[in-house]
Structure 1
Amino acid sequence: MGESSGSVSIDVERFLLGGKEHIVQTSHGCASVTVCGDLEKPALVTYPDVALNYMSCFQGLFFCPEAASLLLHNFCIYHISPPGHELGAAPISSNVPMPSVDDLADQVAEVLNVFGLKAVMCMGVTAGAYILTLFASKYRDRVLGLILVSPLCKAPSWSQWFYNKVMSNWLYFYGMCGPAKEFLLQRYFSKEVRGNTKEPESDIVQACRSLLDEKQGRNVCRFLESINGRHDLTKRLKNLHCRILVFVGGGSPFYSDAFHMTSKLDSRYTALVEVQACGSVVTEEQPQAMVVPMEYFLMGYGLYRPCPLSPSPRGPLSPSCISPEMLSPESMGVKLKPIRTRLL
């Protein structure tokens, strides 16, 4: 255990799908952290989007064999859920103060203290990407790198703010009602998998819809309100000197936000991958498109994915470990976008 304040502790532990869930008391409320893998390995911290948790936001990625072997071979995974978003969460009392985005970023730091973690790799999706980017800007020496999926960095536009307010009211007064679920599914997934009058919803959308039914509407409302009150991080981005890998779905509502963010990041440390025919939650909709970019990203840290064809499980990753057709961006449905900055 690392040093931490007296107000931070682990209260409850339970086992979930190969990981152990810890309910961590922090100065900004409780946080659910599910730990998977070897505690001796470097840490990868994940943070999901609004109304999601590690099951509904990262399960597809970790069920993808190539991604699982890459990540679990190199990291111990710490899945942090937003307050009240964990499986079986009870309603948060109205007497508990609403956390700001800064509170949530500070909560991440307190969680790291509890587990004795110094510097970590971070992976976040949309709202979770914003929280981890804010965390990285406040605690730069604690972040080795960022993997951001359809990230946000600007304050919400007036239309976004108003739309989210309407959504918050639905969640507060009616819970996870039909319109709220449709709003969220449109936020997460491309129209190709959401179905229409001729085509049914895909399995991943149906599974997500089922998991949303289990959410406490007022808990989701609180996190959405926190994100709706976010501030612009644009000016802080140039101060980030860790490596950053950004994925964005071509059909994401936050497509322009991701491009704005990458244009403001230091191009020496940043790469952008656009995944075609995909919504915001690339980790669920097209996780296989993330594998090769992540492999090359992690190679910069001396990390690798064990190759089944190699006689040694510790043999370093090399291009020969990847089939030639997988190296074609078109075959993965992705477009690699270099970051271009103006010469001053």
Structure 2
Amino acid sequence: MSAHPLTGDHEDDYEDVEETKNDIKTNKCGPISVYVQGNINNITLTTPVFMTVHDLGTNHTEFHKLVEHPCMAKLKARSVWLHVEIPGQEFDAPDLPESLEFPSMDTLAEELVNVLNYFNIKYCVTLGEGAGANIIARFAIAHPDRVLGNILIHPTPNVEGVMQYFHDKMMTWRLNTLGMNSAAEQYLVFHKFGAHENIQNRDHVIKDYIQKLYSRMNPKNLRLYVESFLARTDLTPQLKDKMKVDTMLCSGSRNSHSHQVDQMQAAMDPKLTTRVKLDDCGDVLQDTPEAFAYDLLLFCQGLGLFSALPVSRHGSICA
């Protein structure tokens, strides 16, 4: 494993995660790669299954930080994780075929049902971050019978907000000819980390993220995912009547989307909605994995999962 060129540290502590890759055919998105952590062959009706979708500028490996964290060991041992890779977003990916029209947020959501069907899974807990949370929310609305619970990190249901400040810049982002550039970098860093001042270890984390953007993400493919996200339709009018799934909305207090998460909560059925705001962080999975794991466990126990897994009075997950 090579040393990180900007920080001198290892590029990815979870590069050697044990997982299996499955390429699943879809009608509208082409093949979708799904990476499985856990024993997919021994799933029962009581086995917790999680399906994840990642944010812009990242890929499925972003969830390794959560699943492989020591605080998640007891949950990981009792569950199976299906990490969906948005087309063309894997590290060192070749250009997507020009004949393939990159799917919209709605189309990506519609095709996720093929993942569950492929593995013969009746229902799962869905977990998405950023743009991935928008996709997951659409999937839960379209297929509520396949979603046991819905965990959305920094979701952006509407088409307005602080991120639109960068919209004009992104419309002139020509990654297919210029490659990664400062405007794209600024957009993606702000999208992921928000107001990241005073966050512990922020320099290391952000440098590592930027290094991967330049060295391992395909800029043409990334631009297509960003443009699909920017062209999203407003989910807000559908939330009250059509979101029929228990949902946990999670954000860091310093993230650029935190106010939009509050707006999403206000638009949803309060009986089905749990709001979690973690203090002094921008990137929930990176900055506060222990706190997020604790809230995830409590939410899942409310769904009837992990009932035999106790939690201490201090919020730690016990054996």
8 Å CA contact 1:24–1:111 kept in 2: the answer is yes
Specify the alignment match of 2:117 in structure 1: 113
Q: 1:155 to 1:289 in 2, by over 3 A?
A: same
Of 276, 282, 285, the match for 2:279: 276
8 Å CA contact 1:46–1:124 kept in 2: the answer is yes
Q: Which digits, 9 at most, give the CA deviation of each residue in 1:73-98, with x for residues without a partner? A: 33210000111012331111222112
Q: 1:187 to 1:136 in 2, by over 3 A?
A: same
> Offset of 1:16 from its aligned partner?
6.1
> Offset of 1:324 from its aligned partner?
2.8
> Offset of 1:68 from its aligned partner?
3.8
Of 56, 69, 90, the match for 1:50: 56
8 Å CA contact 1:148–1:245 kept in 2: the answer is yes
> Which secondary structure does the structure 1 equivalent of 2:271 belong to?
coil
> Which secondary structure does the structure 2 equivalent of 1:26 belong to?
coil
8 Å CA contact 2:102–2:228 kept in 1: the answer is yes
Q: 1:201 to 1:261 in 2, by over 3 A?
A: closer
Letter in 1 for 2:60: Y
1:236 aligns with 2:238: yes
Specify the alignment match of 1:73 in structure 2: 77
- Aligned partners of 1:176, 1:65: CA distance in 2, in Å? 34
- Normalising by structure 1, we get a TM-score of 0.78
Specify the alignment match of 1:302 in structure 2: 304
Mark the runs of 5 or more structure 1 residues left unpaired by the alignment.
1-14, 306-315, 328-344
Of 62, 65, 79, the match for 2:67: 62
Identity score, percent: 26
> Offset of 1:303 from its aligned partner?
2.3
> Which secondary structure does the structure 1 equivalent of 2:25 belong to?
strand
8 Å CA contact 2:25–2:31 kept in 1: the answer is yes
Specify the alignment match of 1:25 in structure 2: 25
Q: Which digits, 9 at most, give the CA deviation of each residue in 1:176-222, with x for residues without a partner? A: 22332232122212544688xxx985332232222212111110111
Q: 1:292 to 1:200 in 2, by over 3 A?
A: closer
Supply the RMSD in Å over aligned alpha carbons.
2.5
> Offset of 1:326 from its aligned partner?
5.8
Specify the alignment match of 2:260 in structure 1: 257
- Aligned partners of 1:228, 1:324: CA distance in 2, in Å? 41
Q: 1:325 to 1:243 in 2, by over 3 A?
A: closer
> Offset of 1:273 from its aligned partner?
1.0
Specify the alignment match of 1:324 in structure 2: 314
1:206 aligns with 2:207: yes
- Aligned partners of 1:226, 1:100: CA distance in 2, in Å? 5
Letter in 2 for 1:106: E
8 Å CA contact 1:121–1:146 kept in 2: the answer is yes
| 201-210 vs 135-144, greater mean Cα deviation | 201-210
- 1:133-282 equivalences under 5 Å are 133-156=137-160, 160-161=163-164, 163-167=166-170, 169-192=173-196, 201-213=202-214, 214-238=216-240, 239-279=242-282, 281-282=283-284
> Offset of 1:289 from its aligned partner?
1.8
> Offset of 1:50 from its aligned partner?
0.8
- Aligned partners of 1:210, 1:194: CA distance in 2, in Å? 21
> Offset of 1:51 from its aligned partner?
1.6
- Normalising by structure 2, we get a TM-score of 0.84
- Aligned partners of 1:38, 1:63: CA distance in 2, in Å? 15
Q: Which digits, 9 at most, give the CA deviation of each residue in 1:322-344, with x for residues without a partner? A: 143769xxxxxxxxxxxxxxxxx
User: How many residues get paired?
Assistant: 294
Letter in 2 for 1:25: K
8 Å CA contact 1:247–1:272 kept in 2: the answer is yes
Q: Which digits, 9 at most, give the CA deviation of each residue in 1:144-195, with x for residues without a partner? A: 11111011111245x7457235225243332222332232122212544688
- Aligned partners of 2:174, 2:291: CA distance in 1, in Å? 34
- Aligned partners of 1:105, 1:165: CA distance in 2, in Å? 26
8 Å CA contact 1:193–1:205 kept in 2: the answer is no
- Aligned partners of 1:107, 1:164: CA distance in 2, in Å? 27
> Offset of 1:258 from its aligned partner?
0.5
**Based on CA coordinates, which of the two structures has the bigger radius of gyration?**
1
Specify the alignment match of 1:338 in structure 2: none
> Which secondary structure does the structure 2 equivalent of 1:77 belong to?
strand
8 Å CA contact 1:91–1:219 kept in 2: the answer is yes
1:130 aligns with 2:134: yes
